[in-house]
Every structure is written in structure tokens, then in C-alpha cells.
A and B are shown apart, each in its own frame.
Chain A
């Protein structure tokens, strides 16, 4: 019987939530890395026992963690699990935590500044890894989206990292600026049909695409309108919160922007709004049903000044028409006095026959639906604030 494993990153550690295919009874493991901010935990599609985690701290910086046994044990890549880390042999090199921007003239056009909050130019400064995206085919290859925004790749299981500098170097970098959460590269989507194509998104710069496996990039923001930049239709500067697609249709993208839910049918070359009847088109998460490419989910948030759900009601909205027509999903979710937020990486879907949907809140609840959103139950209610939710569907 199939199983699912939900990987939850929180402000104070990581938690792994496991269940069989019925998704009724859950085993909770954690906190792992207690006390640290865990921005993201994600498993390798090529090897479900391989899981990567981004462990970060304002005090101590960035640490990459890896498990090769489905989350039972963890180690920093470069240190085999179980080996004494103080041994002269087999010590970690410390390189797995090292994210250094590429400043070489050969591999990009090195940038030294981006736009800061006050409009002045500011140097790039590495802060943390927001998102880890393992390769679909190789457990040792993975991407990391970082703050200040850049894309890194490891091809040795996270032991060492190298920037794909063509993204920062393509020319628009001086117009990128941080959103309230920092200038983060938070979305990385690999086209499973075309390994040379990758989409990424940055707050607040916008969405970008490569068609040559990361060497060169171009902005794909035509059709976006953002009133918080001098030219609302500028090439870059848009605060894209998240982007999702269905693997079977990699040219169809869905975007939750700061305000506006958007859709592209041509790989991001142009976008149109599909907010329709949503009570608010502000939000962070967006995701696509595992088996229905036109069924998408968002969690509307009241506004950019009030980061909680409207009217005290936690409602997931589902569209079965690829946008514009939305229905509230409320069964099992609090419908009064609820003021939580759901952050951009905090929703995921499993691939069981009856598609499971999962999301985590700033109040520490992780909700699950085993019927595509028709009804919800909390797996846990009292975790630290949830930063990210991913799910693995296991044989």
C-alpha cells in the first residue's frame, strides 16, 4: 500500500509526518534541528530516501542537511552518516554550507549591486537558502534558491555549490529589489519533458526562464501589472510569490503574485489574470492537482498590510477551470476567529489516486485533505510557525 511522508519546515525545526495511503493516522517525527529555522525540506524524486533540508539562523548562518534514509538520520553532506565528525579522516569540509556568488568574468556578467528598499543600489549579500529543488533524475543533483536572489546547483549531493551566474548576469539585476521577506529566489521548477528548461521566480524581481539548462535567462513577466513599481508593466520588479505547473503541461503556468492570480499558456511569454471571484487576490501559495491539470488551489490572504485570511475564515479556494471560477473549500477548516497566514512554499500535493492536498499555517497547524480539498483535517495543530510543506508519495 502506498504511503505519504509530509516534510514540514518551521521557524523552530523540521517535522516529518507519515501515514499510509488512507491518510487518517499520522506518525509525527521531530523536531529535527530543533531551534533552527528550517526554510525548506524536500525529497529527491529519483530516490525518496534522499531528503535535503535548509537549516538557517540569523546567528549562525546557513547549514545544508541531508538524509539518505528517509529522514531517520541526518548529516551535513561530506560527512557520511555515523562517522565521527572529529576524526582526522572523513571530516566534513564545511563546503556544503558555502554559497559564494560567482564573480568570475567567464561564467556571467558579475553584478555587484541590486536595488535596495530605499531605491539605492546595494551589494549582493548571501543570507540563506529558501528553496531546495532536487533533480528528477539524479539524487546527487539539486538546485538551491537563495537570498539575496541567485540560483545555485550542486552535482555532488550537496557537498559543494556553484552559482548559475547567468541569471544574475543577464542584465536586469540592478532593478531587482527585496520584498518584505527579503530578496529571495523561492521557486524553481524543472520541465520534466525538457531538461534544458527551468523556471524560477524571485521576490521582487519576477519570473525567469532558461532554455539552455541555466546558462542564459530571460524575464518572463509580460502581462503582469504591479502598482508598487514606477512602471506597473516593467520587465522586472514584480513581487511574484509562487509559481506552479502540472508536469504534463509544462507550458501552462499558474502564479500567485503579491496581488493577482495569473496564468500563462505559453511558458511565461505572456500572462493573464485569473483571479475571478476570489475574495482577495493577494496570497502566497498556489498549487495544481496531481491528476487534473486545470484544477488549482490558492489560499487568499486579506492584503499586503494584513497577512492573514479574510474575515477570520481559513478557506482554500479551488478552481476546476484553470482559474477565474473559484469555490471555497471550508469543511474541517476554522471559519471564525482565524487569523493565520499560509506562506509561499507551505502547500503541496501528493500523487495518490485520490489527490491529497497539504498546507501549513503561521499558527503551526498542518492540514491535510485526502479528497482533493473537499474536506480537511489537521495532522498537527501546535507546531512552530510553518515555513514550508512538501510531500512524498512512497510505494
Chain B
């Protein structure tokens, strides 16, 4: 199972309180994980990726295993620790405020 941690506002939208666990068919990549996430939680469509271009929204980042994966191509395999469920994939909202 792939573990995904969403920012609080998206957890509220999806009506989940903790981590999201996803079964991902085939190779686990950003694209396949987000496809699975939106398949289970369609109300998140458009909130992480643009509805039309499917590109990551500019104020969001993808972190895992202490690495910033935001600029990796969407079909790049995710780290083994994410695939095995030892580490989560984090969807992070860019810091704002001051």
C-alpha cells in the first residue's frame, strides 16, 4: 500500500483524518499514485493537478524520503521506501504567511 499524506485542507475536502492508503496498479509513480488518489477521492480532482493539463498546481510540492520530488517527471518510479509503504508521499502546500 502506498501511503499519502495530504495537507489539512485537502483532508477536509476528502473527509479523511489521517494518511490515505492506496493500492496502485503497476509501477508506482507520481502519476499513477495521483490517478489512484483521484480515483478514490474524486473531489480532489483539480486540487493537486490542473483539471486539463494534469500538471502539478504551482503552490504544491511532492516530498518523500527527505527529498523534493516535485520536479521529477511524473512517470519516474517513486523511491522503494514509498513503494514498500515504509515512507509516505507527502503533498505539501507552499509556505505562506510571515
Q: Which residues of A contact B (CB under 8 A)?
A: 35-36, 57-63, 76, 79, 84-86, 91-94, 97-100
Q: Give the nearest-CB partner of A55 in chain B.
A: B13
A-B contact pairs, 7 of them (CB 8 A): A35-B9, A59-B57, A60-B47, A60-B60, A84-B15, A92-B42, A100-B51
Bound CA span A54–B15, Å: 19
With a cutoff of 8 Å between Cβ atoms, the chain B residues found around residue A92 in the complex are 42-43
B42 touching A36 by the CB < 8 A rule?
Answer: no
B15 touching A98 by the CB < 8 A rule?
Answer: no
Q: Give the one of B41, B46, B60, B93 with max A CB within 10 A.
A: B46
Bound CA span A61–B52, Å: 13
Bound CA span A363–B4, Å: 38
Bound CA span A376–B41, Å: 46
A94 touching B46 by the CB < 8 A rule?
Answer: yes
With a cutoff of 8 Å between Cβ atoms, the chain A residues found around residue B15 in the complex are 84-86
Bound CA span A36–B7, Å: 13
With a cutoff of 8 Å between Cβ atoms, the chain A residues found around residue B41 in the complex are 85-86
Residue interface bits B56-85, CB-to-A below 8 A is 1, else 0: 010110000000000000000000000000
Bound CA span A61–B60, Å: 11
B46 touching A59 by the CB < 8 A rule?
Answer: no
**A97-B14 CB under 8 A given contacts A59-B59, A59-B93:** no
B87, CB-defined interface residue at 8 Å: no
Distance in angstroms from A186 CB to nearest chain B CB is: 22
B47 contacts which of A61, A86, A99 (Cβ < 8 Å)?
A61
The B19-69 residues at the A interface (CB cut-off 8 A) are: 38, 40-48, 50-52, 57, 59-60
**A93-B42 CB under 8 A given contacts A63-B47, A98-B51, A100-B51:** yes
